[in-house]
Structures are given as C-alpha cells and as structure tokens.
Chain A
C-alpha cells in the first residue's frame, strides 16, 4: 500500500494577500519532501490547510487517492495527518505526558485516566528521543528546544500516515537535530509521507529526497535533491542570484573601546560569566541548548534578577534593574522566543515596531502619529517585511516576517549595544544575507553587537570573537583566526573545570 498526498490547485486568500495562488503537487510515501520558499511564500498556510486549521478557498487535496476536506484539526488527526506548526501548540501548565497524549490518554474501563500506563508509554518515547526530562515534567519548565521535541513526540506518537514539519529545527541545536533526523528517516523508511519546511538549505540536502519550490503562493518547480545545488535552489526561490553570502559580507575591522563589560555575573543558572564587548565588535555566543546563553543576556538586559556581579557601560558601573534601564543605557535585545517574549501578536506592525521608542516619537507624552507612521514604513521597507500595510496585525504575518519586526524595532532606537538572540531563526536565505550585512553595518557604525546562534557557520563567519558556554559557565573564547566548528563544539561539550 503506497501512501501519498496530492494537492490540486489550492488557493487561499487573506485580507489583502493571496497567500496561495493555485498550488498543485504530489508527495509520495517513503520520501521526504521539502517545501522551500521565501518568508511569506505560503508554506505554513499550505500546511495549515492540510491540517484543517484553515480551509482552502478552492482546490482539492487527496490522501491516498481519497479527496479530503478537513474542517478542523481533529478531523485531520483522525484521518492520519499530523502537522507540527512553526509556533508551538503546547499547554504549558500540563505535563509532558498530558501534552503528548492530549486527546487519548490511556483510560481504564470507568473512563478514568490511567496515568501510570500513560507515563510509562511516555517514558518509552522519551528514551527513543534520548531526552533528559521525565514524563511528569511540566512543559513550561522546559527550554524552547525541549518543548519543540515534545511537539514532535506528539506527532510521532499519533502514528500518522502523513507528518508535516514546519521549521522544526529552528530552536534546536546540532545534538537534537541529529536525533530528530534519525527519527524522521525512520518514519520515512516505514513508508510515511513526510513534508518538511526549513530555511536551512544544508538540512534539505542532508535529509530530503525531493524539494518543492514555492514563490509568492505559486508552485515554481520540484527537483530531486540529489540533482540540484544550493545556488540553483536559491536562485529559483528568490528569483535572482544571491551568490555566496559570507564571502560577500563587508565586515568591520576597526574596533573601538570597551562599551560593555560584564564581571562575574551570577543568577538564573549562570555562574561567574565575565566578558568584554568593544565598539564595532561582533561578539558571538555559542553553546548547546541549555548552555545559558539566553539566560546571560536576560541578566545583562535586566530581564531577570542579577544575584551578584557588575555591569559596566563605557567604563562606568551601572545598575540595570529592568529592561527599561537597559534600553536607557542604550542596550537592545531581540529575544529568542518571538511569540512569548518578542511580539504583542494581537497588535499592528506599527504598534510593535515603536514600543521602545515611544518616548522619542512623542511630545509631552502624546504620540506624533505622522512620525510614527513614517518611521514604521521606513523600518518595513528597510527590513523588507512582506506586508500590505503597517497596520496589519502581527499575528497575521508569516513567521519570518514576524521575526523581522523584532529586528526592525531596534533600528529605530539609539543603541550602543544590540543583543541578538537567534536572530535568523525562521528567516529565508535572501533575508538572512541581508541580516548578516546589517549586523556588519551596525558594527561599522560603532555598535557593539552580541550575536547568539546555534548555526555554527553563522557564528564563524560573522563574529570577531566567540564565547562558548556550557552549563551556565564560559568554557572558552576563540578569536576570528582560531574559530572552527570542531573547536567550538569541543568547548561546548567540555566537562566543567576540565
């Protein structure tokens, strides 16, 4: 029995945009089929139609030859379709088991949940995924990466015939990615239909068999992964040649004085972190999930309480009690979790862009609306946020475009230090290159930039120096000349105190 999914002429419009404009293609079981396209090309929308979360305006889709029309995610799940969304869909107050077995926890005959059996089953899955948490752990206690793994376990457990992954690796680091890919390959080998969305081209070459290219809601081409090249894919999805992103970068090579110094920072699982950041420097932070990079930044930025340690800005000791203080000192932060920490999803792009600069665009507390609109439009243009209007609600943007709002927000503020926590998460290849250049430009203007990324290639090619962390401590520091993937990884996995 061959599994397959087929889309025929799927169209879907939202207010002001034609998200999907007649998509047709077929994905077969036993193959991993990638969906590739720029931010806002319509990938997530297509998957949401497949999962019943949205309904297509017109067109049909078939599973194993039978036409399907899902009105709700529940129907799709029952028909054997699981979609792992870009945005996590977990109930953070509940345990891992309850989330994974959500709709069918084991029950005894009286209909009472058999937690013992459910937890046992969960434990088996956790072992399969080599994860360190327990079935009883509350999801809110887990890091973004582990939450993502829980999301994937949910789909795995349902034993669906069709499984779609929407940028599953965005919050993960290499170790989890290896585990995940192993599992996806096993699912493929058991004949399931796998759809896979990612902006990381390397992953597509490593994992997928076939690549479907979308652009502006239209199908462009499907290619066998084995017969294509990165350059070709990029040119097809962006519509022009992008060239080698890294070698084309104009980097800054003049470093100024120390602008930010942290001495013996402690708190929030961080022990004794010290470092210096110069004007014009791009300082990388590398490490595995849970190494404490984001936590360190939250301390610097006043997002969490500092237990002890000092922060100096331009050589002067500063007390940063909350993010407001940090922003007043000229520090900006793009947090890693855009849904929880980054955006006010229900408000417009304009509202989201101007939160940190409200003081600057106001007179006596009254917002200058003309100025606000003008600046917002500039930011939308500079960051190529794909939207029909600055009044569009942030929630209605594609994932990558949401990320760009968080970056764009700081363009408008007057900063000395910009902290970027996984800034290229979910961003397409073309836009990534733009962001890299932007980081370099900011450094040339004399900003100190802190750049956290789990993609080692990024860190190596952009940063002047990289600090490697593990378990809340700094395990090493490498200069531009000394950087290599192996070097960073070995520091990242090093035991404490060697």
Chain B
C-alpha cells in the first residue's frame, strides 16, 4: 500500500510533465514561426501587423472554439463559416432596416440557434454522419446568405455598430479581446465543469457514457447550438470590421477553425484535446498565414500552404499517438531531471 502511494506521487508528476511538454513544444513552434518571418521581413513583428493577426484570428477563433468542443465530442460542424456569413448579412439587413444594433445582434444570435438545432436534428434524430449533415446544411446557409442580399455586399453606416470592429482596449482590437474572453470562459467550461467532462466522455465512448447516466444526444445538441451562436457572433464581427455585410465573408473559415483545433492537439478520434492547445494552434496558423502575405507569397500559393499546414497538423496528431514521440518525450524528461 505504502509503495503504491509513492508510485502515485511519482507518476502524477510525470504525467504533468508529459502534458506540459506538449504545450511547451507548441509554444516553441509559435515562437519559431514568428522569428522566421521577423527575420524574413522587418515589417512582420510590428504593432500594426500583430494587430492585424489578432484581428483575423478573432473570427476564426470563435469558430474554432465551437469546433474544438464538437470534435472532442466526436462530431464536427462544417456549416459554421456559412452560419457566420448568413449572420453577417442578416445583421446588416436588420441594422439598415432601422433596428438598433444591440437588438439586431441578439436577434441574429437567437436565430442562429435554429441553425444549430437543424444540424443537431439531422445528426441525432435522422442519424446522419455529422460530416455529411453539416456539409449539406452548409450549402443551405450559404444559399440563404446570398438570397438575403441578392449576392451584393450591404454597406452598414451605423457608427456605433462599426465601432465594435475598430474599437481598441488597451491598444488591443476589441474583437481579439472578445475572442480571448470567449477562450477563457469556454476553456473553463471544458476543463472544469460537469458539462465539459460530459463532452470528453461522450466523445470517448458514447454508449458507455450513456449507460453511466450521461445523455450523448443532449450534449451534442448543446454543442451544435453553441457552435452556431459563436458563429453568429463571428458573423457580427465580420460585418462590423468591414462596415458591410458580405455573403462571401467567411468562406472557408471552417477549415481554418478545424486546422487550428487539430494543430492544437484535438484528435479527430474524439475524447482528447483542450482549448489552450487550440488557442496556440490558432495563433500558429494565423501567424503563418499572415507571414506568407507579408513576405509576398502569391495568394494561390497561400492556398496550397494552408492545405499543407492542415496536413502537418494531422501528421502531428498521428505522431503524437505514436510511441516514437512518447519515447522522445521520455528522453527529454529524463534530461530535465
């Protein structure tokens, strides 16, 4: 027994090291990316450009939060970017129609829950694969966005509303602050609450979780709604940033969001990952994409590079599960001690 307790202490410590090691590696990669681009172009590591990066990260970050929750629970939402686009357009329409902007935001957020419920219904009631179901709804939402504005971008003149996109708090763009706050709140929910734990358990083995008293369908329904509402906020931010509602605003952002999550260690097999990792993954991705622009890589090559980054993220996920990587970490750890 005594022996056992000692073992517990030892191993408990090891375990922590193991996790934080992965985290340190990721921060290291982030710093490396920033360093490389700084060396390549002196305009990279400047206040203006870093603000740009954060600004771009803010909308994708909101989507990535929803995506992380869903992927951990064994689901995925390919429609979130188009929910954002739809919300962006509808926000513009409502404000241009004379509605006060706070009310418009509330209405759009409330409306987006319907989109989330639709996704959940297809997955939970009709038992479609999340990938297929949300791919289908994604097109529906995009169609709605284009129909609502007849394919044109809708300028918004409301100064108060547009300030959301340009306001700064302590020099940091408000959208970025909002995103970070969301990461903190949802990170806490995921790591510390019953609901967060349910997400992990359902993602690890839905049937076992159900037989132990959790409700997998309820959990995933809530997650699809969260993802949709966060996407709606992302859409609102896009409209405020660009001073217009554009149906093409978020196209492809769902892939960026998924890439960020996977880069951050969220595994597609479900049941593992966390938001801190996702956050760093997000920063790595944004710093990388922005860096390519700054050093004048053509936008076509940027698309290729984005794809490659997703592949790298998936490979990392693969390697993480391999013994080689563990051995490597063990060696690292041995050196530390």
**Which residue of chain B is the closest to A327 with respect to CB atoms?**
B213
From A3-11, A34-42, A362-370, the one touching the partner chain is A362-370
B208 partner residues in chain A, CB cutoff 8 A? 340-344
State A327–B8 Cα separation when bound (angstroms).
31
Most chain A beta-carbon neighbours within 10 Å: one of B7, B211, B213: B211
A379 to chain B, nearest CB (A): 13
Binds A, one of B11-19, B87-95, B140-148, B151-159: B11-19
Nearest-neighbor residue (CB-CB) of B207 within chain A: A341
Interface hit among B116-124, B179-187, B197-205:
B197-205
- Size range of the chain A interface in the assembly: 35 or more
Q: Is B214 an interface residue (CB 8 A)?
A: yes
Q: Which of A327, A333, A351, A389 contacts B12 (CB 8 A)?
A: A389
B271 and A389 contact, CB distance less than 8 A: no
Q: Are B194 and A345 in touch, CB under 8 angstroms?
A: no
Within the complex, the shortest CB–CB distance from A241 to chain B, in Å, comes to: 20
- Contact digits for B224-258, partner A, Cβ 8 Å, 1 yes 0 no: 00000000000000000000000000000000000
CB atoms of B201 and A355 under 8 A apart: yes
Residues of B within 8 A of A327 (CB): 212-213
Q: Is the CB of B214 within 8 A of A359?
A: no
Q: How large is the interface on B (under 10, 10 to 19, 20 to 34, 35 or more residues)?
A: 20 to 34
Contacts of A389 on B, CB cut-off 8 Å? 7-8, 11-12, 15
A381, chain B: closest CB distance, angstroms: 7
Q: What residues on A are CB-neighbors of B204 within 8 Å?
A: 344-347
B42 within 8 A of A: no
Q: How far is the CA of A166 from the CA of B192 in the complex (A)?
A: 39
**Complex-state Cα separation, A119 to B151, whole angstroms:** 58
The docked-state distance in angstroms from the alpha carbon of A303 to that of B209 is: 11
Partner of B197, one of A15, A326, A367: A367
Question: Once the chains bind, are B215 and A15 in contact (CB under 8 Å)?
Answer: no
The one of B15, B193, B205, B269 that contacts A367, using a Cβ cutoff of 8 Å: B193
Q: Which A residues from 312 to 371 make CB contacts under 8 A with B?
A: 322-324, 326-327, 333, 335, 340-347, 351, 355-356, 358-359, 362, 365-367, 369
Of residues B192, B193, B194, B272, which shows the largest number of chain A Cβ atoms within 10 Å of its Cβ?
B194
CB contact list, B103-134 vs A, under 8 A = none
| A76→B272 CA distance, assembly (Å) | 32
The number of inter-chain residue pairs (CB within 8 angstroms) is 100
A358 engages B197 (CB within 8 Å): yes
At the interface, yes or no: A482 with Cβ under 8 Å from chain B? no
Q: How far is the CB of A135 from chain B (nearest CB, A)?
A: 28
Tell whether B39 is near chain A: CB-to-CB under 8 Å: no
Complex CA gap A355/B192 in Å reads: 14
The yes or no answer to B168 lying at the interface (CB within 8 A) is: no
Do residues A355 and B209 form an inter-chain contact, with CB atoms below 8 A? yes
Q: How far is the CA of A385 from the CA of B135 in the complex (A)?
A: 45
- In the complex, whether A132 has a CB less than 8 A from a CB of chain B is no
Q: Is the CB of B200 within 8 A of A323?
A: no
User: Is A215 on the interface with B (CB-CB < 8 A)?
Assistant: no
Q: In the docked arrangement, what's the CA distance between A414 and B248, Å?
A: 55
Is A388 close to B, CB under 8 A?
yes
**B193 cross-chain contacts in A, Cβ below 8 A:** 362, 365-367
CB distance from B252 to the nearest CB of A (A): 31
In the complex the two chains form, is B192's CB within 8 Å of A16's CB?
no
User: With A365-B195, A366-B192, A367-B194 as given contacts, are A16 and B11 in contact (CB-CB < 8 Å)?
Assistant: yes
What is the bound-complex CA distance between A392 and B194, given in angstroms?
A: 20
- Among candidates B11, B198, B213, B269, residue contacting A391 with C-beta atoms closer than 8 Å: B11
* Contact call A324/B192, Cβ cutoff below 8 A: no
- Of chain A, the residue at the smallest CB distance from B326 is A15
* CB proximity of B327 to chain A, nearest CB, Å: 10
Which of A303, A340, A388 lies in contact with B7, CB distance below 8 A? A388
Question: Are B215 and A324 touching (Cβ within 8 A)?
Answer: yes
CB contacts (< 8 Å) of A390 on chain B: these are: 8
CB distance from A388 to the nearest CB of B (A): 4
Q: With A323-B212, A324-B213, A389-B8 given, is the CB distance from A340 to B194 under 8 Å?
A: no
Among residues of B, the one whose C-beta sits closest to the C-beta of A377 is: B8
Distance in angstroms from B72 CB to nearest chain A CB is 11
Interface residues in B275-321 by Cβ distance below 8 A to A read none
A322 and B201 CA atoms in complex are apart in Å by 17
User: Could you tell me if B195 and A322 are in contact, using CB atoms closer than 8 angstroms?
Assistant: no
Q: Is the CB of B8 within 8 A of A388?
A: yes
> Is the beta-carbon distance between A362 and B271 smaller than 8 angstroms?
no
Shortest CB distance A405–B (Å): 11
A409 interface contact, C-beta 8 A: yes
Q: A381-B1, A388-B11, A391-B11 are in contact. Are A355 and B213 (CB under 8 A)?
A: yes
Q: Are A346 and B11 neighbours in the complex by a CB distance under 8 Å?
A: no
Say whether B201 contacts A347, CB under 8 Å: yes
Complex contacts, B330 vs chain A, CB 8 Å: 15
Minimum CB–CB distance from A302 to chain B (whole Å) comes to 9
**Does B322 interact with chain A (Cβ within 8 Å)?**
no
CB of B335 within 8 A of chain A?
no
A16 contacts which chain B residues (CB < 8 A)? 7, 10-11, 14
State the Cβ distance, B12 to closest chain A Cβ, in Å. Answer: 5
Question: Given the complex, which residues of B lie within 8 Å of A366, measured CB to CB?
Answer: 192-194
**Chain B: minimal CB distance from A350 (Å):** 10
Give 1 or 0 for each of B42-75: 1 = CB within 8 Å of chain A CB.
Answer: 0000000000000000000000000000000000
Contacts of A322 in B (CB 8 A): 210, 215
A341–B10 Cα gap in the complex (Å)?
Answer: 32
Complex CA distance for A79 and B8, rounded to whole angstroms: 41
In whole angstroms, what is the CA distance A389 to B213 when docked? 25
B201 / chain A contacts, CB cutoff of 8 Å: 344, 347, 351, 355
Q: Known A322-B210, A391-B15; judge A345-B197 contact (CB<8 A).
A: no
Determine the distance from Cα of A344 to Cα of B272 in the docked complex, in whole angstroms.
11
For the complex, give the distance between the alpha carbons of A346 and B200 in Å: 10
| Docked CA distance A297–B132 (Å) | 35
Residues of A within 8 A of B215 (CB): 322, 324
Nearest-neighbour CB distance to chain A for B74, whole angstroms, equals: 11
From known contacts A344-B205, A346-B271, A351-B197, infer whether A388 and B214 are also in contact, taking CB-CB under 8 Å: no
Query: Which B residues from 1 to 40 make CB contacts under 8 A with A?
Result: 1, 4, 7-8, 10-12, 14-15
Q: With A and B bound together, what is the CA distance between A347 and B73 in angstroms?
A: 13
**Of B10, B194, B209, B210, which is within 8 A of A388 by CB?**
B10
Q: CA–CA, A302 to B212, complex, Å?
A: 11
* Bound-state Cα–Cα, A16 to B6, Å: 11
Interchain CA distance A362-B196 in the complex, whole Å: 12
Which A residue sits closest to B201, measured CB to CB? A344
Question: In residues 191-210 of chain A, which contact B (Cβ within 8 Å)?
Answer: none
Task: List A contacts of B211 (CB < 8 A).
Answer: 301, 303, 323, 333, 335, 341-342
Q: Is the CB of B194 within 8 A of A346?
A: no
What are 15 A-B contacts defined by CB distance under 8 Å? A15-B14, A322-B215, A323-B211, A324-B214, A326-B213, A327-B212, A335-B211, A355-B209, A355-B213, A356-B212, A365-B193, A366-B193, A388-B4, A389-B8, A392-B11
Residues of B at the A interface (CB closer than 8 Å) are 1, 4, 7-8, 10-12, 14-15, 192-195, 197-198, 200-201, 204-205, 207-215, 269, 271-272, 326, 330
Which 8 pairs of residues, A with B, have the shortest CB-CB distance? A344-B204, A355-B212, A389-B11, A327-B213, A388-B7, A388-B11, A344-B205, A358-B194
Further 16 A-B residue pairs, CB within 8 A, beyond A358-B194, A366-B194, A369-B192: A16-B14, A303-B210, A303-B211, A322-B210, A323-B211, A323-B212, A341-B211, A344-B209, A346-B205, A347-B200, A356-B212, A356-B213, A358-B198, A366-B193, A388-B7, A388-B10
